Amino acid sequence: MRLQTKRTIGIVAALVVLSAFAGCSALGGGSSDTCGPGDTKIEDVETGDGEVSLTGEVTNASEDGAFNIDDGTGTAFVMAAAEDIEEGDCVTVEGSVVQSPLDEGADVFIQGKNITAA
């Protein structure tokens, strides 16, 4: 009877540990398949904020190098001459917040200066 009790306790402890890891991942504390947000959330950015750094998934890329990113809190249209950016890429964009010269359907507009894979 003692061996069965120890085995049951071991199994319960293992399940608790696995559940804790799964919970951290779902809360953004562990690895996940999502991209962003970074230090600054798109939903918190306003025109006039100056320089920002945003991390998000590319949702639309045009041939001229401009693209949209989504960090799960909002979308940003990035005006840049970015090469090799494809839909689904996870990128960090550093740039200036600008007023929209276009109606691209994004929450904020960024003049991208430095774009890196995240």
| Higher pLDDT among residues 11 and 30, named by residue | 11
Mean pLDDT for 47-53 is 87
Q: Is the pLDDT of residue 33 over 90?
A: no
Q: Is the pLDDT of residue 52 over 70?
A: yes
- pTM beyond 0.75, yes or no: no
End-to-end CA, the chain: 53
The answer to whether 39 and 4 have CB atoms below 8 angstroms apart is no
| Higher pLDDT among residues 107 and 16, named by residue | 107
The answer to whether 68 and 104 have CB atoms below 8 angstroms apart is yes
68-105 core/surface letters (b: 16 or more CB in 10 A; e: else): bbbbebbbbbbbbebeebeeebbbbbebebeeeeeeee
